[in-house]
Amino acid sequence: MQIANGMVILSPENQQFKYGVTPAEAVILYKMHNAYANGTPLGDFYIQEGEAQTIDVPEKAAQEEERNLLTGKITPAKEAVPAATHKRTQGEEIARLKKIYTGIIQDDGVAKTAFVGTFGSAVGVRIPETFAEIEDVVHITFKTQPKATKAESEANNRKNELLSKLRTELCEIAGGLKLKIHAQDTKEAIVGAIIEAEKETPKPEVT
């Protein structure tokens, strides 16, 4: 089951970057937000390496050695333990989508839950596992993620970091860079302006 990262346009003023979106999830997002996005609610999506995974055992973060100041007892350091996973099945993905997307959509004038309104309520329903299966449904082309240079990776990480912030926070950052922000500017436009301004701002020298 393929996964992709990309932008979901909830409205012209509200956009969210989402990671690990499956083909079925992309269709649900399209159905839920198509009426309010002023165009397709799905921006550029890039297919990632690997497949959707179900977590069997969560990862454990590394722990540093600790000394109890009262007893003097030392708790030894522990290395990080990666999560144990397996490839997500159709049944697991269906259950996940029904749990996450509890909103209501209109299907031929009838209010239905997001999953049922998108894929129906049949017991043996099959959901798409590749993005090629849904391109005609969501009216976008899913691109393969190109190999990024270090500079491109850093820029993309900065973009995603900024997109996760509130509009008010972005306006504060923009103000610090002496950028003019207008009420009609989208979050993505503000983020783009900030990134361009930061490129032109000299970085402090490290001594």
Residue count of the chain, please give it.
207
DSSP-based three-state secondary structure for 148: coil
Of 144, 161, 184, the residue that ends a domain is 144
Query: Global pTM?
Result: 0.67
Residues 63 and 48 in one domain: no
Residues 6+ apart with CB under 8 A from 19: 5
Q: Look up the domain containing 178 and give its range.
A: 150-200
Integer Cα distance of 3 and 13 in angstroms: 26
Integer Cα distance of 152 and 158 in angstroms: 10
Integer Cα distance of 74 and 77 in angstroms: 9
Confidence tier at 207 by pLDDT (50, 70, 90): very low
106's torsion region: left (phi>0), alpha (psi -120 to 50) or beta? Answer: beta
In angstroms and rounded to an integer, the radius of gyration of the C-alpha atoms of the chain is: 22
Confidence tier at 1 by pLDDT (50, 70, 90): very high
Of 105, 122, 144, the residue that ends a domain is 144
pLDDT reported for residue 136: 94
